[in-house]
């Protein structure tokens, strides 16, 4: 027997509230029925699932916020574009916001972006939670959105391999050594030989289709230096002019994500995208959920801050060093981070 679904306890679900917030009552009613149905199916089909009042309330609050959200060209509408929701561990927040956003996205015909604080949480949502929901919502189309640097650039990978081969022709035995892994006996520098083996094996996997070019789907994480040499990079990308464009792992992932109605991103990617004129996100047609939103300020500080070179830091110190003004002291940039001992002022600011 499935657990009972608690009755709505909040006035936020009554149609009068809907009209105050500018929500079409019919739209709200249809969405509520759909949400009840999906929640009931989750309760009935997930072993051990316990429907909780807090979860139910959170789900309703999410739905109402999305349905009352104003479009950018809808200034006169009395909507409420933002809900800040907090719930304890074990409330079942993921199910609550996922169901509400899925229903809102169906009702409003908008894309949903669920953003998590880390790539690991993103993977968990994508690999575990959404597949479970897709079992009861077969039409659910979801994809993962990651930064460009998490994909291999085929062009750079081929370039690195070709450069090494060219070098090995000059140095003679290097290429043979890779063939039978005798690089140790031949006295070839270990790092370079191992890196070359990794590049070649990785290229083989990519070409055979056994690897999709996403760093997170590699069985073993690569050496950071090896990955840096072959990761996709906006400055080194020729886009449609590139000979590997059609098979490019990054652009393939982007094309797939664009066709999904629910996209799983991370905060850093969303904020980085806002800094550019990228068309990856269409804010006016997107519903956003920021899971673990308390991480946003720090991630935003990382994204939007500028690390000054040494001579600029020194310049920022000069007025403070003379004790000219509190504003100048506030401009002091600590090489070792805030709260550390300032080497110029010999004190903590
Ligand atoms: S399209 Fe850009 S990222 Fe993709 S393989 Fe070519 S250069 Fe690399």
Q: What are the residue boundaries of the structural domains of the chain, listed by start? A: 11-141+260-298, 153-241, 310-348
Q: What is the pLDDT of residue 96?
A: 95
Asked if 292 contacts 180 with a C-beta cutoff of 8 angstroms, the reply is no
In the predicted structure, residue 213 carries a pLDDT above the cut 80: yes
Which of 46-50, 199-203, 315-319: highest mean pLDDT? 199-203
Q: What is the mean pLDDT of residues 42-63?
A: 92
Q: What is the pLDDT of residue 161?
A: 92
Helical spans, DSSP H, in 69-189: 93-108, 119-124, 130-136, 154-171, 174-180
The residue to mutate among 154, 230, 235, 246, having the most atoms of ligand 1 within 8 angstroms of its beta carbon, is: 154
Is the CB of residue 152 below 6 angstroms from any atom belonging to ligand 1?
Answer: no
Q: What is the pLDDT of residue 174?
A: 53
Asked if 333 contacts 318 with a C-beta cutoff of 8 angstroms, the reply is no
Which of 38-52, 69-83, 156-170: highest mean pLDDT? 38-52
SS3 284: helix
Is the CB of residue 206 below 6 angstroms from any atom belonging to ligand 1?
Answer: no
**Higher-scoring residue by pLDDT: 109, 316:** 109
**Higher-scoring residue by pLDDT: 205, 3:** 205
Q: Which atom of ligand 1 is nearest to the CA of 148?
A: 3
CA 269 – ligand 1 centroid, Å: 19
Calculate what percentage of the chain has a pLDDT beyond 90: 50
- C-alpha angle 149/150/154, rounded to 5°? 80
Is the CB of residue 121 below 6 angstroms from any atom belonging to ligand 1?
Answer: no
CA 145 – ligand 1 centroid, Å: 17
In the predicted structure, residue 184 carries a pLDDT above the cut 80: no
CA 243 – ligand 1 centroid, Å: 8
Q: What is the pLDDT of residue 272?
A: 86
Ligand 1 atom 8, closest CA: 153
Alpha carbon distance 228, 320 (integer Å): 39
Q: What is the mean pLDDT of residues 114-118?
A: 94
CA 155 – ligand 1 centroid, Å: 6
Q: What is the pLDDT of residue 149?
A: 93
Alpha carbon distance 178, 168 (integer Å): 10
Ligand 1 atom 6, closest CA: 242
Q: What is the mean pLDDT of residues 205-224?
A: 95
Is the CB of residue 245 below 6 angstroms from any atom belonging to ligand 1?
Answer: yes
Is the CB of residue 325 below 6 angstroms from any atom belonging to ligand 1?
Answer: no
Q: Which atom of ligand 1 is nearest to the CA of 153?
A: 8
Mean pLDDT of the chain: 80
Helix (H) or strand (E) segment spanning residue 287: strand 286-290
Helix (H) or strand (E) segment spanning residue 111: strand 111-116
Q: What is the pLDDT of residue 297?
A: 92
Q: Which atom of ligand 1 is nearest to the CA of 249?
A: 4
Q: Which atom of ligand 1 is nearest to the CA of 236?
A: 7
Is the CB of residue 155 below 6 angstroms from any atom belonging to ligand 1?
Answer: yes
C-alpha torsion angle, residues 165, 168, 173, 178 (rounded to 10): -40
Alpha carbon distance 316, 105 (integer Å): 49
Integer CA distances (angstroms), 348 to 119, 160, 327, in order: 35, 46, 16
Q: How many residues does the chain have?
A: 349
- C-alpha angle 207/210/214, rounded to 5°? 85
Q: Of 237-241, 260-264, 289-293, 329-333, give the lowest mean pLDDT range.
A: 329-333
Residues forming a β-bridge with 150: none
CA 228 – ligand 1 centroid, Å: 14
Asked if 193 contacts 201 with a C-beta cutoff of 8 angstroms, the reply is no
CA 244 – ligand 1 centroid, Å: 6
The residue to mutate among 203, 214, 215, 232, having the most atoms of ligand 1 within 8 angstroms of its beta carbon, is: 232
**Higher-scoring residue by pLDDT: 340, 295:** 295
Reported for 124-128, long-range contacts at CB under 8 A and 24+ positions apart, including other chains, are 125/94, 125/264, 125/291, 126/264
Q: What is the mean pLDDT of residues 334-346?
A: 39
Q: What is the pLDDT of residue 346?
A: 38
Q: What is the pLDDT of residue 329?
A: 32
Q: What is the pLDDT of residue 20?
A: 72
Q: What is the pLDDT of residue 326?
A: 37
Is the CB of residue 154 below 6 angstroms from any atom belonging to ligand 1?
Answer: yes
Pairing of strands 111-116, 286-290: parallel
Predicted confidence band of residue 9 (pLDDT cuts 50, 70, 90): very low
Q: What is the pLDDT of residue 313?
A: 59
Helical spans, DSSP H, in the chain: 15-20, 25-45, 53-68, 93-108, 119-124, 130-136, 154-171, 174-180, 190-208, 224-230, 249-258, 267-274, 296-304, 310-321, 326-330
Integer CA distances (angstroms), 295 to 122, 300, 301, in order: 14, 9, 10
CATH placement of domain 11-141+260-298: 3.40.50
């Amino acid at each position: 027997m499935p657990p009972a679904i608690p009755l709505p306890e909040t006035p936020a679900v009554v149609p009068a509230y809907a009209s105050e917030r500018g929500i079409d009552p019919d739209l709200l009613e249809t969405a509520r029925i759909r949400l009840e149905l999906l929640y009931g199916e989750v309760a009935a089909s997930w072993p051990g699932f316990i429907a909780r009042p807090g979860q139910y309330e959170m789900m309703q609050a999410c739905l109402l916020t999305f349905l009352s959200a104003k479009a950018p060209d809808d200034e006169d509408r009395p909507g409420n574009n933002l809900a800040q929701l907090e719930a304890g561990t074990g409330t079942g927040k993921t199910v609550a916001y996922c169901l509400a956003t899925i229903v809102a996205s169906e009702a409003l015909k908008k894309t949903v972006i669920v953003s998590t604080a880390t790539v690991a949480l993103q993977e968990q949502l994508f690999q575990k939670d959404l597949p479970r929901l897709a079992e009861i919502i077969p039409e659910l189309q979801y994809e993962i959105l990651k930064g460009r640097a998490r994909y291999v650039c085929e062009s750079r990978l081929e370039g690195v391999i070709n450069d090494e081969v060219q070098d090995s022709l000059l140095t003679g035995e290097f290429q043979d050594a890779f063939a039978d892994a005798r690089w140790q006996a031949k006295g070839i520098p270990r790092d370079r030989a191992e890196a070359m083996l990794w590049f070649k094996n990785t290229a083989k996997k990519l070409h055979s289709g056994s690897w999709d070019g996403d760093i997170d789907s590699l069985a073993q994480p690569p050496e950071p230096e090896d990955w840096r040499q072959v990761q996709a990079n906006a400055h080194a990308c020729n886009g449609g002019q590139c000979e590997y464009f059609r098979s490019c792992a990054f652009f393939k992932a982007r094309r797939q994500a664009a066709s999904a109605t629910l996209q799983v991103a991370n905060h850093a990617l969303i904020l980085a995208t806002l800094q550019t004129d990228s068309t990856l996100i269409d804010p006016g047609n997107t519903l956003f959920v920021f899971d673990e939103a308390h991480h946003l300020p720090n991630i935003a500080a990382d994204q939007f801050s500028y690390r000054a070179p040494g001579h600029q830091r020194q310049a920022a110190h000069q007025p403070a060093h003379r004790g000219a003004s509190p504003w100048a002291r506030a401009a002091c940039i600590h090489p070792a981070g805030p709260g550390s001992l300032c080497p110029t002022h010999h004190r903590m600011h």
